[in-house]
Structure 1
Amino acid sequence: MEGKTVIVTGSNSGIGKETVRDLAKRGCRIIMACRNLLSANQYRDEIANQTGNQNIVVMKLDLSSLQSVREFSRSFLEKESRLDVLIHNAGYANTFTKTVSVDGIELTMATNHYGPFLLTHLLIDILKKSAPSRIIVVASSWYRVWSPDIENLNPIDNNPWLLYYASKGCNIMFTMELAKRLQGTNVTANCLHPGVIDTGIWRNTHTLLKPGLFIWSKLMKNPVIGAQTTIYLATSEEVKDVSGKYFKDCKEDEPRPYITNPEKCLTLWEESIKIVKLQPTDPKI
């Protein structure tokens, strides 16, 4: 990975942190795109000292804010000359409180789908310029719990605890349509299920559920194991020409047909363009 540049969103903890640690050992330049700069800088120094790779940069990114996504992209493009791998790792789960982003978008959907959707558009030209390059989306098999409502893609009145699962479905649908549109560009797009991991994604669990969650956590994978499929998709020559696939445990897996339905994937894409307010001057995919 020497000479390559990688963005990892949400890389100040959990799977993202372990992804950065592994990639740093491989010698690439890493952009840690994080909302919490204090912890991100702490982990940046920790990983740099452990691996000897000082070519790790922390940049501010709040995926729930469309303005923050645009500011991050603008800053990145001003400073960087290439992008070989874009890893959409950041995730948010809201359990009981109905919350909207600064843009009036339901917060879980804003963070897990709409922010990454806009970020991909704004960085697509540099990915094409740097090709062969890769886009990796950390989804989840939890999409089976609750499907995205194609008729209501900004579900601010829905039960918040269901929307994490819907957002993971959106991750898969987004990847499938993205891969289709990137055919012939030498930019690949794949998504993955990391497993059930003991990470900060569970921090917003209701207090009454935390005793049970504590017991369940003993059965979860740790973040190092959870990061392996992401790392595989970012580095392996075996998948350099593979695109539009869903992976689990470093192998291709078959998602349910309803979540890869081409018409629904296209509808999600077209409605997402409207919700993120993509501008005529923005790059097109």
Structure 2
Amino acid sequence: MSSADPVPTTLVLTGATSGIGEAVARLLVPRAARLIVHGPRHPTEVDRFLGRLRDLGRSEVHYVQADFDDLTAVVALAGRIAALTDRVDVLINNAGRPGPPTRQLSDDSNELTLQTNYLAPVLLTDRLAVLLRAAHGRVVHVASATHLSASLDPDDLNMEHTAYSPTVAYARSKLGLVAHAQWLVDQAPSPRVDAVSVHPGVIRTALLHAMFDIGGAPVAQGARNVVQAALSANAWDGRYLAEDRPAQPNPAALDPEFRSRLMTQTSRLTSHLSANDRSSSAGWDGS
């Protein structure tokens, strides 16, 4: 996002119908000409939520539905977004899930936490590359400080040979996002796309309760940290933010070899999609 254009035209927010995402949507709706919000629920189930958003500002508000358990739905989501706008100034990948009690597979035969929290946002980002580049846009990955303790083997993303636990699966998925933000700023040609990953804080949400059964700060505090990452005029250059300030990420995220291996295996896990729909980073090659 260019510092000369601090008020974005089009914002896309995933996971907008609950928790931090809902609070972020409320803060964004007065700030953009067009706000595209995503959630997993049928549009008729979110009418009241959308009405409240529209009451908060003059933004053009659109709702797009997709289940991240199915990567073809993510591809379709990107298509629906492209039908609504010719640019994306900011993409906030907020949608996420806690790790289930036991290892489960998605519709695409990927470990469920990995797919929802990592593969789906990476695929969506890739499919929106042209729209992001058109706006000199920014990608915001909502990450977690849990990634700092994670160990992620790119050759075992689906935890077939890694001992499973819900917290391990969650932390690994967030390490993937932090590394992807770094990778994006290295790969994106001119016009350049900025990227940042942000730990919003230990926030009192259903996800936090499901994973750790602890308290936390108010949702509004986490939402403010995400919005700052999204709307700051400063270029983040792939940095990791701990709440409202830059911090050192897991060293793996800074390792170019790790990032390259991670993206190679990420593409492999989406190889069942058609050639036109595959997350092959084609959107960043300047074509």
Alignment partner, residue 76 of structure 1: 81
Pick from 144, 147, 154 the counterpart of residue 150 of structure 1: 154
- The structure 1 residue matched to 2:217, chosen from 214, 217, 221, is 221
1:47 alignment partner in structure 2: 53
Secondary structure of residue in 1 paired with 2:47: helix
Partner deviation per Cα, 1:40-92 (whole Å, 9 max, x = no partner)? 4332212222x133511111122221110011111221232221110000111
- Relative distance call for 1:52 and 1:151 in structure 2 (3 A) is closer
Which residue identity does 2:138 align to in structure 1? R
For 1:235, give the aligned amino acid.
L
* Structure 1 pair 202–41 and aligned structure 2 pair: CA distance change class (3 A): farther
With over 3 angstroms needed to count, the CA separation of the structure-2 counterparts of 1:3 and 1:142, relative to structure 1, is closer
The yes-or-no answer on 1:235 pairing with 2:231 is: yes
Q: 1:254 to 1:128 in 2, by over 3 A?
A: same
Paired-residue identity, %: 26
Q: How many residue pairs are counted as aligned between the two chains?
A: 271
Q: Structure 1 residues 81 and 151, CA, compared in 2 at 3 Å: closer, same or farther?
A: closer
TM-score by structure 1 length?
0.88
2:96 paired residue among 66, 91, 114: 91
Say if 2:206 is the partner of 1:200: yes
Partners of 2:231 and 2:91 lie apart in 1 by 12
User: What's the counterpart of residue 251 of structure 1?
Assistant: 245
Kept in 1, the 8 Å contact 2:39–2:66? The answer is: yes
Letter in 1 for 2:221: I
Instruction: Give per-residue Cα distances to partners, 1:144-186, cap 9 Å, x unaligned.
Output: 2332122301225641412001111111111111111025423
Superimposed CA distance per residue, residues 241-279 of structure 1 (whole angstroms, 9 cap, x where no aligned partner): 331111123211111323322111110011101101265
Structure 1 residues 197-256: Cα deviation after superposition (integer angstroms, max 9, x where no partner) = 111214645xxx7xxx2xx31xx111110012211122121x1x3311111232111113
User: Of residues 136, 152, 172 in structure 1, which corresponds to 2:178?
Assistant: 172
Q: Match for residue 41 of structure 2?
A: 36
- In structure 2, runs of 5+ residues without a counterpart are 1-5
Partner of residue 115, structure 1: 120
Partner residue in 2 for 1:141: 145
AA of the residue aligned to 1:111: T
Structure-1 residue corresponding to 2:3: none
Q: Which residue of 1 aligns with 2:261?
A: 267
TM-score in terms of structure 2 length: 0.87
The answer to whether the Cα contact below 8 Å between 2:198 and 2:226 also exists between their aligned partners in 1 is yes
Structure 1: segments with no counterpart, 5+ residues = none
The 8 Å contact of residues 99 and 156 in structure 1, kept in 2 or not, is answered as: no
Asked whether 1:281 is paired with 2:276, we answer yes
